Structure 1
């Protein structure tokens, strides 16, 4: 029995190593602004999942397309085996799933939650004692699998209406929704007559006066994209972030290149979700800023930056009452039907609580 357990663990670790290698291969190809734009536009359509898993899905689906197993180069909706069954669909015989990295969580309890050393892991079915605080924490990753809708058959999937725009127009309600979020962060929003008023820029965020300014002599689409860009700065690049504990946040606040790429990328994702044409977006050459952080691997910089961008964009989008494209989940899917996590037999390092999207 013990030998079988070791074999299962080794097989799981081998699958994880293979997924990490595939992920590194995918992310390391993001060497230009146009590659970065396409990756983020794709991530916007699958924003219910982490950037890493989005890239894994993209790469494996394209491989399946080249092998003739799926009809199009881009996936439409993806879900787990049992999730498709809840929607009345079955994975077709011979269709291989796309490996992704699923979180493994465990419950921990402590009487002194401010002390990192005080947390103890609860066994399966074990309850915390009176007076203890209980938290669920990420303790590792495991391989899981999803399938595109074209790899399944069964009940039809309803199509969601997509936003439609005329050239130069802003999506209905998007300016108002973004403006409300800027103001909710304690910033006053001002529209200025032209770029000369704000030093030649389309928009500017001033953390000293707590003002966001956007020039009004652009078309509506450009104005709302600029407002989304400035909201990205507001949420990601405050002066307090420069002294924080999170390395990625601190690097972005200190490094103008990363900050501008992040803010523009947030705007790109928000625009893509609303059907805005992002072809004119200008994002600096990714490898130049990714390689300029001392002691950091460029692939890791790209991954952490993309996930910060995705998380921020999702926070903004979740608060908007606007018509948006789907998030990659099949319409009608109950996310609570997600692939269940599996216990880890070996003790793993404790990681602080965090939200993990598959």
Structure 2
């Protein structure tokens, strides 16, 4: 009975820590503000880009979750950029117009339909510097906590995990192959965060999942923040910005998905703690034998 009570107490303590981190995440996202220089860089970048409809932005994000600034090949060429070899175009809609023949105004046209046109995200290009290059969107560093988190995901996950060329993304989860690939270019700290993010996708977002792109990304990054911070890796600088971008200014997004974030995070933390206990137990037994 005492053992059961102690386990219950430890569980509640863990639950409270997860809830505390969830509140920190919610407050951090709501309060997150770009610094003035960064905000100016974003405005300058926006001024260079074509103005696409919200519908097209959603279509682009469905194909390319990390999309930020998109433009056609011609516009990137004008900015001194070229498309990186091997990158695939993102398809969006462009209206088709037809001149109104019976109009008294010679320049009257009507939309008769839409066609698919190719565009590319800024991360799919290379060349002349852009305002966005002034903004650091990376977690730097190599700490023991990050390396331990990487080891825990690798041992606990049933996915095939590889590190290599991920194109423009930091990482991705392949639902069909049930595999995770993380960019080899990332620092160890960023690699750990990305690995947890994709691990959450592998646990929650299987084929046939009806969740929206916003829900999937907010939940994955929210869980990554909680799990990483629970085990000593602070990802707030990156995670607050990431969730803020995906929630599109919707202050209720985190509240809406908060329960799922808490539940998934708690389960992953429990798995990781079991892993740590298993790893420590042989050493404890050996020490006892030596004594």
Question: Radius of gyration: which is bigger?
Answer: 2
Q: Give TM-score scaled by structure 2 length.
A: 0.43
Where relative contact order (Cα < 8 A, 6+ residues apart) is larger, the structure is 1
